Amino acid sequence: MAAYDFTAPRLHVAADLGPGAVLPLDRAQANYLLNVLRRGPADPVLLFNGRDGEWRAEIAPTGRKSADLVVRERTREQPPRAGLQYLFAPLKTARLDYMAQKAVEMGAGTLRPVITRYTQGERLNLDRLRANAVEAAEQCGVLSLPDVPDPVKLPAALADLNPLCLLVFCDEDAAVSDPVEALRRGVADPAEPPPLAVLVGPEGGFASEERALILARPNTVALSLGPRILRADTAAVAVLALVQAVLGDAR
């Protein structure tokens, strides 16, 4: 039997969750469950709020187009938020949506927008960014929603990192032929890595003074992602897969 129920729809809710709780569905949620998915009375729905773990609930119709969810039992305990931070220069809307979703899927616990000289999308819609993070969590079984702080400029983002944190800097000019080995060399014990952060810049790259500032930070590893030029949203998937496989929770 599969360890996870992939058949039941999954919803993020704001309310506290516990046995016997009755949660009215809003219009959009009711339409999604009753009309789009064609679910009916007593059909299971998985609920999470980022605090109380995951719970199985059942649909209790209250009208032709409305229903409540009756919470039954907890299916998974609440884990702590993932420690991996993803620092990124905001992108244009469609690619930013994709990047946010994939970063959450790949295990980022923080999505931190960083303003650089060549950032293209400084007018960032944080509500949309957070909504994309929630959607990815709903679809992929994530229980701890990522933190999405306000944008900061690059020097402030670097200063805010724990000095013990290993910063993985995606640098197209890095002279690294083996990124796996570079990551392993960046920590004293690959079996017990320190807190991790990943930094991906804008599609125009980093200015020379920004690159110098990043490389001057202790506990920083500069990585090239290979001979091909990747879009920033593609680079997010590539570097997070690499970091998780070598030092993260995919080992």
> Residue 154 sits in a domain of what CATH number?
3.40.1280.10
Question: Quick check: is 5 in a domain?
Answer: no
The Cα–Cα gap between 215 and 16 comes to 44
Question: Quick check: is 188 in a domain?
Answer: yes
194 close to 166: Cβ distance less than 8 angstroms: yes
Model confidence pLDDT, tens digit, residues 80-137: 999 999 999 998 888 899 999 999 999 999 999 999 998 876 678 999 999 999 999 9
Average pLDDT over residues 155-174: 94
The Cα–Cα gap between 94 and 69 comes to 33
Average pLDDT over residues 191-201: 94
Same domain, 210 and 242: yes
The Cα–Cα gap between 103 and 242 comes to 13
Question: Quick check: is 17 in a domain?
Answer: yes
Question: Quick check: is 213 in a domain?
Answer: yes
Strand-strand pairing, 44-48 and 10-12: parallel
The Cα–Cα gap between 120 and 179 comes to 28
Same domain, 35 and 147: no
Same domain, 68 and 167: no
pLDDT for 1 beyond 50: no
Whole domain around residue 69: which residue ranges?
10-75
pTM (two decimals): 0.91
What single letter denotes the amino acid at residue 204? Answer: G
**Comparison of pLDDT for 2 and 56, the residue scoring more:** 56
The overall average pLDDT reported for the chain is 92
State the Cα angle at 140 between 130 and 136, rounded to 5°. Answer: 20
Domain final residue pick, 33, 57, 75 = 75
Structure tokens at 97: 């949506």
Q: What is the pLDDT of residue 228?
A: 81
Same domain, 173 and 225: yes
**Comparison of pLDDT for 29 and 3, the residue scoring more:** 29
The Cα–Cα gap between 5 and 45 comes to 10
Average pLDDT over residues 58-74: 94
Same domain, 29 and 110: no
Q: Positive or negative CA dihedral for 123, 170, 102, 111? A: negative
Question: Quick check: is 3 in a domain?
Answer: no
| Number of structural domains in the chain | 2
